């Protein structure tokens, strides 16, 4: 069955807009990074023509709405990119809990004073930030009772977000 050319153009427009936003600029914004896997799946579907243009457009619109929802949430929480990256990393590993917002604020208050201009270039500053993050993750393990394997995963994800967005 032949699909209307207009739908093909709409699907192409949303697929390529998401591709540019999320895959090209994902290291500039934690929201984009959190959507990258879904965008890559959408691109794969586009390349392999696995679904109709209408379905591609629908999936693309859904991802776009999710992007807007995440950006709105970041604004409502008043989180900068570093804090939001920490929250998204925590939620990716442990699911959503409203208590995580205050947990992230707690860590942020503790490490922000250590994150002076160029902090990531100084070994001692990086080590101190990592030490505080590790302590914070252990505290979360005690508070929420997750498996020990998650401690390292959360630690790595939080450090990665801080190093990426906290420069």
Continuous H helices in the chain: 5-18, 25, 30-48, 53-77, 81-94, 99-111, 123-144, 148-165
Residues 82-106 have a mean pLDDT of: 95
pLDDT score at 7 = 86
The pLDDT tens digits of the residues spanning 43-81 come to 999 899 888 999 999 999 999 999 999 999 999 999 999
pLDDT score at 134 = 97
Pick the residue with more confidence: 26 or 155? 155
Q: Is the pTM of this model over 0.75?
A: yes
pLDDT score at 77 = 97
pLDDT score at 5 = 64
Evaluate if residue 35 carries a pLDDT over 70. Answer: yes
- Rounded-to-integer distance, Cα 43 and Cα 4, Å: 20
Among all chains, which residue has been given the structure tokens 């906290």? 166
Other beta carbons within 10 Å of 95: 10
The pLDDT tens digits of the residues spanning 96-152 come to 999 999 999 999 999 999 999 999 899 999 999 999 999 999 999 999 999 988 999
Evaluate if residue 158 carries a pLDDT over 90. Answer: yes
pLDDT score at 4 = 57
- Rounded-to-integer distance, Cα 121 and Cα 99, Å: 32
Pick the residue with more confidence: 50 or 91? 91
Pick the residue with more confidence: 25 or 163? 163
């Amino acid at each position: 069955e032949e699909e209307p050319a207009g739908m093909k153009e709409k699907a192409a427009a949303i697929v390529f807009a998401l591709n540019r936003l999320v895959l090209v600029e994902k290291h500039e914004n934690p929201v984009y990074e959190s959507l990258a896997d879904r965008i890559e799946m959408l691109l794969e579907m586009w390349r392999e023509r696995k679904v109709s243009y209408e379905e591609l457009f629908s999936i693309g619109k859904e991802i776009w709405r999710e992007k807007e929802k995440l950006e709105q949430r970041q604004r409502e929480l008043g989180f900068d990119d570093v804090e939001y990256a920490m929250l998204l990393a925590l939620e990716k590993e442990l699911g959503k809990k409203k208590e995580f917002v205050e947990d992230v604020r707690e860590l942020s208050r503790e490490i922000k004073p250590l994150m002076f201009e160029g902090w990531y270039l100084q070994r001692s500053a990086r080590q101190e930030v990592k030490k505080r993050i590790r302590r914070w993750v252990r505290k979360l393990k005690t508070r929420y009772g997750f498996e020990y394997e998650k401690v390292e995963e959360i630690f790595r994800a939080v450090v990665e977000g801080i190093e990426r967005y906290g420069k």
